[in-house]
Amino acid sequence: MDFIGVPVSEDTTNTKNKVKKTMKRQKPFQEPVDNGSVEESESAGSSFPPTFSLSTIKNKQRRHLMFMKLKQEKRKQKLELRKKRKKERDALGDKAPPKDVPKTIENQRVYDETTVDPEDEEVAFDEGTDEFSAYFNKLTNPKVLITTSDRPRGRTVRFCEQLATVIPNAHVYYRRGLALKRIIPQCVSRNFTYLMVINEDRKVPNGMVLCHLPDGPTAHFKVSSVRLRKEMKRRGKDPTEHHPEVILNNFSTRLGHSIGRMFAALFPHDPHFVGRQVATFHNQRDFIFFRFHRYIFKNEKRVGIQELGPRFTLKLRSLQKGTFDSKFGEYEWVHKRHEMDSSRRKFHL
């Protein structure tokens, strides 16, 4: 009986040989040792070798452990260097060199041509003839109408009610489906100087339209990070009916100057210092942070601060001439994110 030899394919033999070679090459895991191992350097208290790299450690837990030790050692080196510099400064006394100013985005800000000079005659003339001149000349008293978008939720309603306790002479009315173009003439006829509309999205306040009456301008803000009084820890008692003081920080450009004047015109002229309440609008990197505090005199040198709430953050989206007009309105300034946010050191307020 004849046997016929069946040829074995070369692919199967090659794959078997490759598997055997790879099995031979595999060796038990060994961590890289660099000049007497890292553990000896750690036990001796010295720094890691200059050629040390965490990427060479394949074990994830070991790599994380070494990363934490490396971070701790860098922190100790910084602390020792800081103590050394302090001793040198104490030894030199008045002859010590000035401290290094840390680099931040604020002090590296790109210069804006519209930065306001307080002694500029053109700026003084514009302030005397703009829409807020009647308020700053004490010819009008602020009266604010606060309303919402259609069918507001509970969180937006509570936010409006708490804003009414912060801004004196503010009244909250519900929208009831009326268009803003119909609300504005009614506000003007009833001597309101401001119309504030709080918009919401998914039951959360996300926008604010602030319209100065009767001639404008109208500003549209994005609202974020809203925290009501019940959500704040260590807050003080509810605010009183005293007129608060107003603090405006870092509104340095012409645009920021007009926005700051718009916020200032929300509050009466003469604050009641007996109430010790302060409303702060702090501009930092074009984000406007609102805080409401009460200060308490502990003694002749120390002053304590209690936050009363609410707190929120504003981001200017547009500034429109005149009263609100979504179709035919003329805009002074519109935030174009892709064009204006190309540089992190360029600010507009």
- The C-alpha R_g of the chain, in whole angstroms, comes to 33
Summarize pLDDT for 272-295 with one digit per residue, the tens.
999 999 999 999 999 999 999 999
Among 48, 53, 23, which residue's Cα sits nearest to residue 38? 48
Which residues touch 333 (CB under 8 Å, ≥6 apart)? Answer: 255, 316, 318, 319, 348
Residue 292, SS3? strand
**Global pTM exceeds 0.85:** no
Residues 166, 310: Cα–Cα separation, whole Å = 9
The answer to whether residues 289 and 263 touch, using CB atoms and an 8 Å cutoff, is no
Summarize pLDDT for 78-111 with one digit per residue, the tens.
999 989 988 988 888 888 888 888 888 888 888 8
Among 245, 305, 321, 255, which residue's Cα sits nearest to residue 281? 245
Mean pLDDT across 65-74 = 91
Mean pLDDT across 325-337 = 88
Summarize pLDDT for 17-59 with one digit per residue, the tens.
554 555 445 444 444 444 444 443 443 444 667 777 888 888 8
Residues 188, 185: Cα–Cα separation, whole Å = 5
Query: Cα separations (Å) of 230 from 126, 227, 237, 238, 310?
Result: 42, 8, 11, 11, 9
